[in-house]
Structure formats: structure tokens, C-alpha cells
Amino acid sequence: EAYTMSDHLTVWNDDGSAKYRPTVHYSYCPTDAAIMSVHELRMRNWKMQSGQRILNNEIESGRDELGVLLMGHDYKSWWTGSLLSIDEARAILPGQSATTLQVACSVVAAACWMMNNPSAGIRVPDDLPHEDVLKVAYPYLGTFHSAAVDWDPLKNRNDLFPGFGNGPTRLDSTDPWQFANFLVPTPRAV
């Protein structure tokens, strides 16, 4: 997806070379319990716990917010995606989680499309007709949400550790969407 989304958004010159090609990144925010589990593993000097389990019915509340945040246009940022709570997921398919449903429905939808188009050849997900895929997946995705978000990488910025990230001398206040303005530290000259 990082390749295909970037490719779809590329502006091409007449000679076939790329004039503009955006960077596509992923960002995940695990639950507090998942983060605590990683901290516990670290405190055990990375020795895996003897017992491991996948949580299903133990999940008491929460929701998956699966979507995309588009940044750098007149609206600053725009988030669009689906919101599926654990309660909604269990109403659809008992014993499963919101994550399971959102992932599995896309696989089922793609498999349905393949069965209906057996001679289409190999395709990446972005090549499939989204209407056909969404027709199958829609009942399992929850509520759809799409709205402007008043955020950019410089808004409310707080450098907790000056000198160890991108300090004021490395930030570009004239264009908040420059890569140096995100949390990724810029290497220092030696």
C-alpha cells in the first residue's frame, strides 16, 4: 500500500518521469494494555513470557478507528475512515474483535471479487474496483466518518527534550508540511 498509494498520487511529467511523488507513512497507536505488555517484556530483558494469548472476549470496551489522515492542503488535515466498536463487532459476529472484522471483511470481499473475475490475473488491492469490494465489506466496517482536522506538525508543538529532536533551528515555520517538522529527528553533522 505504501507503494501503490504513493504511485496513485504521483504527478507525472510528459517524459514519464515523476514530477511529484508524495511520501506515504503508516501510524499505529496500540492500546494501553499492548504498550504495557511491551514495557513488561523490556523489563524482562526481552525474554518472552511463557504464556501468550490473543484477547477476544476479554476486551471490554473500545473501538477501532481505521482510516487515513490526508495532510498538507487547504483544510490542513482531513481524516476519513470507519469506526467500529467492540460492541458493534460482537453484535455482527460474536467472539470476534473490531480489528478481526475490519481485516477479515476486506479479505472476504477480495476473495468474492476473485471468484467473480477468475481471468483477471494478479492484482494489488488498489487495482480492485472499490465499489465491488465495499459492497461486500460495508456491513462489517461500522460507521463511516469524514471531516477536516485542525492539525499540522507545528501546531501545539512541545519539544520535551531540546537538543535531541528537531529543535527550532531545524524546523521550517514557513511550510509546516516539510519532513523536518515531523517528530522524526534530523541527523546532526559530526
CA 135 to CA 151: how far, in whole Å? 32
pLDDT given for residue 83 in this prediction: 95
Closest CA to 164 of 136, 188, 129, 139: 188
Residues 126/1, Cβ–Cβ less than 8 Å: yes
Instruction: Give the contacts of 105 (CB within 8 A, at least 6 positions apart).
Output: 136, 137, 139, 140, 141
Assign 187 a pLDDT band (cuts: 50, 70, 90): low
Mean pLDDT score, 9-37: 87
Render pLDDT for 155-176 as a digit per residue (tens, 0 to 9).
888 777 666 666 667 788 888 8
CA distance readout (Å), 141 to 34, 60, 65, 130, 131: 23, 19, 10, 14, 14
Of 15-24, 51-60, 95-104, the range with the lowest mean pLDDT is 51-60
Assign 115 a pLDDT band (cuts: 50, 70, 90): very high
pLDDT at residue 148 is higher than 70: yes
Assign 109 a pLDDT band (cuts: 50, 70, 90): very high
Grid cell of 130 as nine digits: 472499490
pLDDT given for residue 112 in this prediction: 96
Mean pLDDT score, 146-162: 84
Render pLDDT for 120-140 as a digit per residue (tens, 0 to 9).
999 988 889 999 999 999 999
Assign 185 a pLDDT band (cuts: 50, 70, 90): low
Assign 188 a pLDDT band (cuts: 50, 70, 90): low
Of 77-81, 141-145, 149-153, 165-169, the range with the lowest mean pLDDT is 165-169
Question: Can you name the residues that pair with 57 across neighbouring β-strands?
Answer: none
